[in-house]
Amino acid sequence: MTDASRMPDRVRLGAVADLDELCAFIGDCRRCRLAETRTTLVFGVGDPGADLLFIGEAPGKNEDLKGEPFVGAAGRLLDELLGSIGLHRSEVYIANVLKCRPPGNRDPQADEIETCTPFLAEQVRLIDPLVIATLGNFATRYVLGTDAGITRLRGRLFEVDGRRVVPIYHPAAALYSPDKRGVLFDDFRRLATVMQWAREGRPVAPTARLSAGHEDWLEVFADPSGGAERSAGEHEADAGEGAPADQQKLF
Ligand code: URA
């Protein structure tokens, strides 16, 4: 008989039945250097059957102490943004690219993302959301498998493995650049529209546009890396944009 404890993570992950089991599987994780400096691993919070999943970057100081994502200043703004579309954090699910705080809130490193994101992918599989809202560069790049920045990608709707993906500025960006606050509230309004469409089962069409009043907003792309390059009204090609083929399918 196979000894499950000797199987690599990637083999055992697909057999995890629910979020509690996944959390237990991750355990007191020592798989990367962040274990040395974190206080608490921040697994995620919210409705395990949520239609809407938010993915942020990594826990900050407050999250590291409390063990819950988005409980600091950025979290208060996220709660306000959710409230603006009639939602409470208990009705969505909130997770991060990394489950442990990078020391001094430095950027996540590539090997940390590689080690930690199989657990995020598993959360996506288990929660099975209709819509994923990626908050900021790290979440957006991971989910869409692109090098493009959030400023270019926000305001568009993507589809990855049958899920709608809506890139949005990280709420912390509005704390440093107050001009982004209005954009964030606008994007949450658009997110509410995408949720409504998803619940109605409205198909994501390659050339769909939001209704009148949102003409500035989006085109819908089935292929994020190729679609972003070919979008109408975008003629400049960002150096380095696009995803290696093996990163395009994430979930
Ligand atoms: N920023 C994030 O990206 N995630 C958190 O949980 C908190 C702040």
**What is the structure's pLDDT at 8?**
79
Strand order in the sheet with 163-168: 45-46, 93-96, 52-56, 131-135, 163-168, 157-160, 220-221
List pLDDT tens digits, range 34-80. 999 999 999 999 999 999 999 999 999 999 999 999 999 999 999 99
Check pocket membership of 74 for ligand 1, CB cut-off 6 A.
yes
Distance CA 167, CA 151 (A): 9
Check pocket membership of 63 for ligand 1, CB cut-off 6 A.
yes
pTM: 0.83
- Each domain of the chain, given as residue ranges in start order, spans 42-224+240-245
List pLDDT tens digits, range 199-247. 998 876 544 433 333 334 444 444 444 443 333 333 222 323 343 222 2
List pLDDT tens digits, range 85-117. 999 999 999 999 999 999 999 999 999 999 999
What CATH number labels 42-224+240-245? 3.40.470.10
CB 98 within 8 A of CB 57: yes
161 or 100, higher pLDDT: 100
Check pocket membership of 242 for ligand 1, CB cut-off 6 A.
no
Distance CA 241, CA 225 (A): 8
Q: What is the 136 CA–ligand 1 centroid distance (Å)?
A: 10
* Collapsed DSSP state (helix, strand, coil) of residue 127: helix
List pLDDT tens digits, range 184-195. 999 999 999 999
57 Cα nearest atom in ligand 1: 3
Check pocket membership of 138 for ligand 1, CB cut-off 6 A.
no
